[in-house]
Structure 1
Amino acid sequence: MTIRYTRDHEYISVEGDTGTVGITDYAQAQLGDVVFVELPEVGKALTKGQEAAVVESVKAASEVYAPVSGDVVEVNGELEAAPGTVNDDAAGRGWFLKLKLKDPAELEGLMSEAEYSEYLSSIS
């Protein structure tokens, strides 16, 4: 499994040709209590950098962008009933969607876990 991160605090955890996308623990902490998540339709084609989902908290609404291009093959329907799962387990049960990757080479432009940790320390 490969995990990569964006500067917008999304992660993608890749197994085979499918990536699970969500927001990082840092992002959920910045947002505060998540009260609503809007997910894309299964089958939607997303391009890298395109809005993939919306997450709303008591503080703000934020877009979640596709870290790579691909087709949505699954969404986390549990978030509709329990959006707070994003706060409880952002990198686990709080995932947003799964993408079938169009171009795995796009992963190369994303940060590794070590690079993301370094990035976080530079902005805090």
Structure 2
Amino acid sequence: MSLRILSKSFFAQRLASSVRFYATKKYTSSHEWIEINKGVATIGITDYAQNALGDVVYVEVPEVGNRVEFDETVGVVESVKSTSDIYSPLTGEITDANAEVVKNTKLINRSPEKDGWLFKVKFESQEEVDNLLDESEYKKLTESDH
């Protein structure tokens, strides 16, 4: 019986470490979130950013197939309060863009870090990923904004 428990514990730890390796969430100081999964980054604006913007009324996402550079403007989110550029946090190729969020901008307000994602990038530089903020660093940044 103890071998069974040890075995379950071992596989649970292996699974947890592999999940962290394949799915990692990072942030930028300009309030984009980035979820890394097997060399592709899904990018959107954070809940903090959508709260600051208010009701989103217009979204522009980049075209699939475009090459983007780190910190390049790739889209726009317009709200009743202001217009904000969206920057690519990584260099690479746009592999997908969320057409649904363009049609239904309220997805950003309802689910900014899930259904309200903006675009995906097949990134080229692990160093760029490593330079992004982790969750605790981003939390400190947003707390200092208050």
Written as runs of structure 1 = structure 2, the 5 A alignment for 1:34-113 is 34-113=56-135
Once the two structures are TM-superposed, the CA of residue 80 in structure 1 deviates from its matched residue by 1.8
Measure, in 1, the Cα distance between the counterparts of 2:91 and 2:55. Answer: 29
The aligned residue for residue 33 of structure 2 is 11
Q: In 2, distance between residues paired with 1:9 and 1:107?
A: 15
CA positional deviation for 1:81: 1.4
Aligned partner letter, 1:58: V
Alpha-carbon separation, structure 1, partners of 2:85 and 2:111: 19
Q: In 1, distance between residues paired with 2:67 and 2:27?
A: 20
State the SS of the aligned residue for 1:121. helix
Maintained 8 Å contact 1:17/1:104: no
By relative contact order (CA 8 Å, sep 6+), the higher-ranking structure is 1
- How far residue 52 of structure 1 moved from its aligned partner, in angstroms, is 1.4
Q: Whole-Å Cα distance in 2 between the matches of residues 18 and 27 of structure 1?
A: 23
Partner of 2:129, secondary structure, is helix
Corresponding residue of 2:6: none
Listed one character per residue, the Cα deviations across residues 67-111 of structure 1 (whole Å, up to 9, x for unaligned) are: 111110000000121001000000000000000011122111110
Q: Give 1 or 2 for the bigger CA radius of gyration.
A: 2
3-state secondary structure, aligned to 1:2: strand
Give deviations 1:37-69, integer Å, cap 9, x for gaps.
011110111111001110011111110100111
Determine helix, strand or coil for the equivalent of 1:37. strand
Give the % identical residues. Answer: 39
5+ residue gaps, structure 2: 1-22
**RMSD across aligned C-alpha pairs, in angstroms?**
0.7
Q: What is the TM-score when the length of structure 1 is the normalising length? A: 0.97
Higher relative strand content = 1
TM-score, normalising length: structure 2: 0.83
Residues of 1 paired with 2:31 and 2:76: CA distance?
13
Tell me the equivalent position of 2:15.
Answer: none
